[in-house]
A and B are shown apart, each in its own frame.
Chain A
């Protein structure tokens, strides 16, 4: 871990100003991903701004009938919130399937969204990685790819986004609220928040320089049956080999988002119009680029969808 200076910010404005004042500054909240990466010098901020005391830890109803989740709401608290459990069960389920209780107690909503993508080569600084050193090349291509992406990949990067929470937020069409150093705010649809790698895989989100996530807003509840199915070799405390966030609606206009497939939570709205799981799977996976190690994700996705359709039918 490179030496850094540290300060504690007490208001969002002070945090934004502190960030602007220091070229290599980063916010730290839960720290569960950032410190992991700093220890390996994959992240090397010169200055840390502790944002834990900004008060962004409330979950409030919106006038539209949705919920506004403060950026610093801990994953445990979000999953356990009575309104989330009742009206957005897919989000609660997704959160609870992620990491461990200890990590969920620490990790924040914004931190979860902003966690770096996963790839064992990204984590090993002796190997080339376009994320760590743009232009260095990608060691994962042609390497151990079993857990890596098959959708939206590029020659430069095939890493996957590890978040479960973000997959559920994607299926719920959440909005990510931000504030810029000049005080302007905006709401970014979650679909546009994470980027595909393209030839700049080191840029993982569409956040602008100095911009800070302040909240995530959920639209009014969709109703329906909420399912989060996480497939993994180990029963718990493992990243998804594949995950599916599903909201099964009586209208038949179901929604599906996928984890473990791509550099971002993966959702193909067009595919949701299809009536059979096989047709949905085919449309979701259009353009898949697989390796012999991860090609199994293609049939797996179809089978998981089939079991979700069956579950929805059984509970109807």
Chain B
């Protein structure tokens, strides 16, 4: 297996760009920093590190209608108080800083928000967070980290299965979920024999991944990455 490159040397010197704004805002900001001092210190590790529960909603005024929900995200129990309108996607992105799941359309039309709920891939944009009480949710951050990539993540790099990277977390979560579906014997639109054994052929991969749009259109490469992982897993 070729070497996986080190984490990106692409960090931006933007820390000093934090917006402090007017004095009131500044106070809010400082309180946040004080309350979650790990945030800035940990840099990008923050995204998957212990600071992940730093609830953004703590800055918003408490709302009478907010509901508590308990989610098990990437193996860690997380409690949130949320406006019931908050989608699972926005809970991850805006309240838990798990921004790996992407918002491409917010209407179930692109697949960029794909996460695994109890092992199954779904569009997290079309699901309310409060509907997931007690659910086990795996996001791209839970699959692997730059230092310890999931085999599917590594295969995407090797096969250049992405360009702009925006649909990529969704493609990868979807691919992982898809291989599970094949293993479970779930047929697809292109399965010639509904009763036969399901396989990860190129045609099957293409059909089963069609809920994940990629406008950079790395499709041909993604199929190669997924096929490699599928083969490797027997």
- The answer to whether B53 has its CB under 8 Å from any CB of chain A is no
Q: Name A residues whose Cβ lies closer than 8 Å to a Cβ of B.
A: 1, 3-6, 8, 28, 30-32, 35-36, 39, 48, 50, 52, 76, 79-80, 82, 85-86, 89, 92-93, 96-97, 99-103, 105-106, 235-237
Q: Which residues of B contact A86 (CB under 8 A)?
A: 194-195
Provide the B200-225 mask, 1 if CB < 8 A to any CB of A, else 0.
00000011101110000000000000
Q: Which residues of B contact A100 (CB under 8 A)?
A: 111, 123, 210-212
- What's the Cα separation between A149 and B212 when bound, in Å? 28
10 contacts between A and B (CB under 8 A): A30-B126, A35-B87, A80-B187, A93-B194, A101-B177, A102-B108, A102-B114, A102-B122, A236-B206, A236-B210
Closest to B121 in A: A102
* Chain B, range 39-65, C-beta contacts under 8 Å to A: 65
- The answer to whether B137 has its CB under 8 Å from any CB of chain A is no
- What's the Cα separation between A102 and B130 when bound, in Å? 19
Q: Are B178 and A101 in contact (CB under 8 A)?
A: yes
Q: Are A36 and B108 in contact (CB under 8 A)?
A: yes
Closest to A36 in B: B107
Partner of B84, one of A4, A32, A76, A89: A4
Q: Are A237 and B84 in contact (CB under 8 A)?
A: no
Q: Are A101 and B126 in contact (CB under 8 A)?
A: no
Q: Which of A32, A52, A82 has the most CB of B within 10 A?
A: A32
- What's the Cα separation between A309 and B189 when bound, in Å? 21
Closest to B67 in A: A6
Provide the B163-203 mask, 1 if CB < 8 A to any CB of A, else 0.
00000000000100110010011111101001100000000
* CB proximity of A165 to chain B, nearest CB, Å: 13
Given contacts A39-B107, A79-B187, contact A4 B85 (CB under 8 A): yes
Q: Which residues of B contact A99 (CB under 8 A)?
A: 211
Closest to B114 in A: A102
- The answer to whether B127 has its CB under 8 Å from any CB of chain A is yes
Number of B residues contacting the other chain (C-beta, 8 Å)? 40
- What's the Cα separation between A79 and B198 when bound, in Å? 14
Q: Are A106 and B122 in contact (CB under 8 A)?
A: yes
Given contacts A39-B107, A52-B131, contact A85 B84 (CB under 8 A): no
Closest to B195 in A: A85
Q: Which residues of A contact B106 (CB under 8 A)?
A: 39
* Across the A-B interface, the 4 shortest Cβ-Cβ residue pairs: A100-B211, A236-B210, A6-B84, A80-B186
* CB proximity of A92 to chain B, nearest CB, Å: 6
Partner of A102, one of B65, B84, B123, B191: B123
- What's the Cα separation between A110 and B125 when bound, in Å? 21
Closest to A29 in B: B131
* CB proximity of B17 to chain A, nearest CB, Å: 32
Q: Are B85 and A105 in contact (CB under 8 A)?
A: no
Q: Which residues of A contact B128 (CB under 8 A)?
A: 6, 28, 31, 35, 48
Task: Please classify the interface of chain B as helix (H, G, I), strand (E, B), loop, or mixed, using the class held by over half of its residues.
Answer: loop
- The answer to whether B94 has its CB under 8 Å from any CB of chain A is no
Partner of B123, one of A48, A76, A92, A106: A106
* Chain B, range 140-161, C-beta contacts under 8 Å to A: none
Q: Which residues of A contact B77 (CB under 8 A)?
A: none
Partner of A101, one of B181, B194, B195: B181
Q: Which of A28, A76, A101 has the most CB of B within 10 A?
A: A101
- What's the Cα separation between A237 and B187 when bound, in Å? 16
Q: Which residues of A contact B178 (CB under 8 A)?
A: 101
Q: Which of A1, A48, A92, A237 has the most CB of B within 10 A?
A: A237
Q: Are B186 and A32 in contact (CB under 8 A)?
A: no
18 extra interchain contacts, Cβ-Cβ under 8 A, other than A31-B131, A79-B187, A101-B178?
A: A1-B85, A3-B85, A4-B84, A28-B128, A35-B87, A39-B106, A48-B128, A86-B194, A93-B194, A99-B211, A100-B212, A101-B174, A101-B181, A103-B126, A105-B122, A106-B126, A236-B206, A236-B207
Closest to B132 in A: A52
Q: Are A102 and B187 in contact (CB under 8 A)?
A: no
* CB proximity of B118 to chain A, nearest CB, Å: 10
Given contacts A39-B107, A86-B195, contact A80 B130 (CB under 8 A): no
Partner of A103, one of B67, B123, B188, B195: B123
- What's the Cα separation between A32 and B87 when bound, in Å? 12
Given contacts A36-B107, A85-B187, A100-B111, contact A237 B210 (CB under 8 A): yes
Q: Which residues of A contact B174 (CB under 8 A)?
A: 101-102
- What's the Cα separation between A48 and B87 when bound, in Å? 14
Given contacts A36-B126, A237-B210, contact A105 B120 (CB under 8 A): yes
Closest to A84 in B: B194
- What's the Cα separation between A105 and B114 when bound, in Å? 11
